[in-house]
Structure 1
């Protein structure tokens, strides 16, 4: 089984733009609903089901069709359960918001797939882990850009 867990800082002390937990949450929701904004290689996205606590989404990337069940716990975490199919082995991604101190926000990304990370697959999994980490850093960067553009303003 392949697993990866890492932490990405959201707020940078050297940057005046401080995101709130609500703004971060809104950015993570946008990523769930519109992954093509965050990943240029996504060709098509369709939300099949939607409620306050889950989404069922299909996504097309090239010839690959992916179906995700996305579980939402308001301002706490988002869990993506990717259904296995002939093109994709399936897996889970958990994005957990952590706030050890006020405005000190982090997102803990935890990946788990049934793929073997030993033997012949070791080089590929090393590449895959690096790609996941880079994608997650880019996700937070994009959320900060959306905040700068005023697109994450939370109405009370």
Structure 2
């Protein structure tokens, strides 16, 4: 299954709104990768297992589910999650790409890819529809939290 959507960061039509810089958005996306418990309530444990030049490997525990992510950073451009498959999780990919069609008009494109087959089973399709909605809400909440962190001066 593939799913993507875009969240607007700066609305240049409303000059009274706080404008975030590309670097603040970037730092917020990296913060989400490295401190996921700040963004997702139902995480019981989160740990960075390894740091390398391109990013991190991390482990997340939610109840009985353990998830291992390899996360790659492209400075001020994108964060790519490669979630490893396991007995309890099919794995998948998430790309969060900062887009700037004109100066200061920032957006984040969230692109998901999972091995779930689409159209094979009506019940699975209902679940996938729910999953897409949940992802979209979580991504909107991510941007709200990044905005809050920036306003508090925590993102440069």
**TM-score by structure 1 length?**
0.94
Give the RMSD, CA atoms, in angstroms.
1.0
Q: Map of 1:117-136 to 2, 5 A cutoff?
A: 117-118=118-119, 119=121, 120-136=123-139
1:52 is displaced (CA, Å) by 3.5
Match of 1:55 in 2: 56
Q: Distance in 2 between matches of 1:5 and 1:101?
A: 21
Alignment of 1:148 onto 2:147: no
* Alignment-derived partner of residue 7 in structure 1: 6
What is the distance in 1 between the residues matched to 2:64 and 2:19? 39
CA distance in 2 between counterparts of 1:117 and 1:61 reads 26
TM-superposed deviation, 1:51: 2.5
Which consecutive segments of 4 or more residues in structure 1 shift more than 6 A?
none
Q: How does 1:3-152 map to 2 (within 5 A)?
A: 3-13=2-12, 14=14, 15-118=16-119, 119=121, 120-152=123-155
Name stretches of at least 5 consecutive residues in structure 2 with no aligned partner: none
Q: Deviations over 1:101-145 (max 9, x none)?
A: 111000000000001222131110010000001111111011001
Counterparts of 1:51 and 1:130, CA distance in 2: 33
CA deviation vs aligned residue, 1:16-70 (integer Å, no higher than 9, x gap): 3110001100000100000110111111111011123110000011111000000
Structure-2 separation of matches of 1:41 and 1:9? 26
- SS of residue in 2 equivalent to 1:133: helix
| Stretches of structure 1 lacking an aligned partner (at least 5 in a row) | none
Mapped to 1, the partners of 2:52 and 2:20 lie a distance apart of 25
How many residue pairs align between the two structures? 152
SS where residue 76 of structure 2 aligns?
A: coil
